[in-house]
Structure 1
Amino acid sequence: MGDCAGVGPELALTCAAIPEVTERCTPVLIGPRRILQRISEQLDLALPSSDFRSSQWDGVSAACWDVGEIECDEVTAGKFNHRTGLASFVAVDAAITETLASRLDAIVTGPIQKEAWHAANVPFIGHTELLAERTGTSDYSMMLTSDVISCVLCTIHIPLADVVGSLTRESIVRAIRLGGAALSRRLKRPARVAVLGLNPHAGENGLLSHGEEESLIGPAIEQARGEGFDIVGPLPPDTAFTPAMRDQVDVYVCMYHDQGLIPLKTLSFDDGVNVTLGLPIVRTSVDHGTAMNIAWQGKARSTSMQRAIEMAIDLVG
């Protein structure tokens, strides 16, 4: 359910009662049950009565799994702290354990507060890094996707000043492979991949760059093209997302976080889904944050959470 001071719990409760969800799966809400109960009473949302550890699944529409030691008086709506951060981390970690053991089929994560994880001395910046470590995965990428646009990131949660030093030919090829393969499976045809340049105007042949397009991005494109991928690029980032270009592209390979997430969230904020590619288990997530300013008020839209659940079901097959 994500950070319990944010909107994650109410989104989880809402989606666990949607017939389109419960007809296709049995949602298990993972996190402190006492917090879920408090929010369910405050917003008049149904709280699943079944317990994940003891439920017989025939006839159960949804269940709760009480994970994360935190009391109600330690949580104030919209105010995260180290306790809420630790509770959300423990819940995600438990979900990974159960999914690796095949007791759960997939993980859908609500929004966490990275500062709260840091305050709790959690040694991971976010979900993606934790999932990679726990599953022993080195070749992974973060993809944000919707029916309108899909973006795969070559670098994830790092400062902009560190992007150039973190980009490698291998990381770009990996993003092309994982993103291209994912969209090819979804579309049941070879995906059309567009790789963005790093610099304005894709570097203008070195005039506006330090040669990243020529030394890193171009060779990565040629390597992936030799593996059979249908690729254009490196494209100037400022024109890559125009309507005419989007009509010709199935997935964008972006060099850094905001290069891909700004267009994705502009076009699909309410129904975008975060998918971690390359893992041995299925993990999807909402594409938005904890929205502390509207937490526990019943104002948060559940569209992205519902879409993340539906995509997880589709990926499980």
Structure 2
Amino acid sequence: MSSTPAIAVTMGDGAGVGPEVVVAALLDEEITRNSRPVVVGDAGRLRQAAQVLGVEADIVPIGSVAEFQPGRINVVDLGLLPEDLPWGKLSPVAGDAAYHYVRVASEMAMRGEVQAICTAPLNKEALHLGGHVYPGHTELLADLTGTPEVSMMLSTPTLKVIHVTTHIGLLDAIAKIEPGLVERTIRRGHAALVAAGNANPRIGVCAINPHAGEGGLFGYGEEAEKISPAVEAVWADGIDARGPLAADTLFFLAARGDYDLVVAMYHDQGHGPVKVLGIEAGVNITVGLPVIRTSVDHGTAFDIAGTGTVDTRSMVEAMRQAIEVAPRPDVD
């Protein structure tokens, strides 16, 4: 057995840019040298993606990871997409197929056939139209792997952010935040950074209100009620977590290196600063699953799908981070 990790690469929504970014990433020499990537998707759509990108790619269907061979794009071909599927159009067929790519990849991971999963973007509306009502990849993977609670972490070369809540409305997010959830999120983030080689990460925890509530001037005491008890609990266990801190100042301090991880309370609080850095820099990591999972930090980009103009750097970076944090298989 090779000592390089096997990585299941899900193709995402076939009507979006997923097929294009997958082909580009799997032609990257660093990726192919350091891993054994196997696409779970549709070989025909990948060939169409190679054509629109204007690249030569040997795309070969295989039955299992054991049939992997270097020098080509190996595909567990589910054959779920029609040949004439239009680019850039919402499709329940593509949404259903995207679900099954993730399902099969999860099954491969749970059987130990792959050491990580790297996902191309799916479209949430298409996923729902296809009969699979999940807020996104994170919740779908949690359900498929039987994991009761996970966290979304966004990682860039200069900033890492883990979220207490993600794909729910702002009022619902504030209602959901409570000390236990905040504490578990801090602990998951701490464990992820320790596993990646940072023995004592410095963690900054965002407040909910401007200026961390300004001593009760803003909000209704959410910081004292929902966040401070969690920070105190993890601090007592030796985790270097500080907060609640004003989010605007915290992100500035973290970006200059004062903190290794920021704990954001809700989706846009964490996503906004990361996206300012550029979508090519951000990688989505699901923390708490029984398998490593990374993803691009952008959507299906229907407006440019099938044009060959998509920026593929985020998918390449997602693959690199999957390789970096995936466990190495035992060598026979």
Distance 2:94 2:165 in 1: 27
Residues 134-283 of structure 1 correspond to what in structure 2 (within 5 A)?
A: 134-242=144-252, 246-283=256-293
- Structure 1 range deviating more: 139-148 or 247-256: 139-148
2:73 aligns to what? 62
**1:220-278: CA deviations, max 9, x gaps?**
11011111111221111122222576421100000001100100111242121111111
1:11 aligns to what? 21
**1:153-176: CA deviations, max 9, x gaps?**
000110112111111111101111
2:6 aligns to what? none
Given that 1:205 and 1:214 are in contact with CA atoms closer than 8 Å, whether structure 2 keeps it comes out as: no
Distance 1:268 1:49, change over 3 A: closer
SS of 2:19's equivalent in the other structure is helix
**1:92-144: CA deviations, max 9, x gaps?**
11111111111222110001110111111203221111111121212321100
SS of 1:42's equivalent in the other structure is helix
Calculate percent identity across the aligned residue pairs.
39
**1:163-216: CA deviations, max 9, x gaps?**
111111111011111112222333433000000000111111222111110111
SS of 1:90's equivalent in the other structure is helix
Given that 2:149 and 2:288 are in contact with CA atoms closer than 8 Å, whether structure 1 keeps it comes out as: yes
Given that 1:117 and 1:125 are in contact with CA atoms closer than 8 Å, whether structure 2 keeps it comes out as: no
Which of 69, 77, 89 lines up with 2:87 in the alignment?
77
SS of 1:240's equivalent in the other structure is helix
Residues 289-304 of structure 1 correspond to what in structure 2 (within 5 A)?
A: 289-304=299-314
2:122 aligns to what? 112
Distance 1:102 1:185 in 2: 19
RMSD: 1.7
Distance 1:20 1:38 in 2: 24
Distance 1:283 1:124, change over 3 A: same
Q: TM-score with structure 1 length normalisation? A: 0.94
Q: TM-score with structure 2 length normalisation? A: 0.90
Distance 2:318 2:110 in 1: 19
Given that 2:156 and 2:282 are in contact with CA atoms closer than 8 Å, whether structure 1 keeps it comes out as: yes
1:28 aligns to what? 38
Given that 1:50 and 1:60 are in contact with CA atoms closer than 8 Å, whether structure 2 keeps it comes out as: no
Aligned length: 316
1:312 aligns to what? 322
Q: CA deviation at 1:8?
A: 0.9
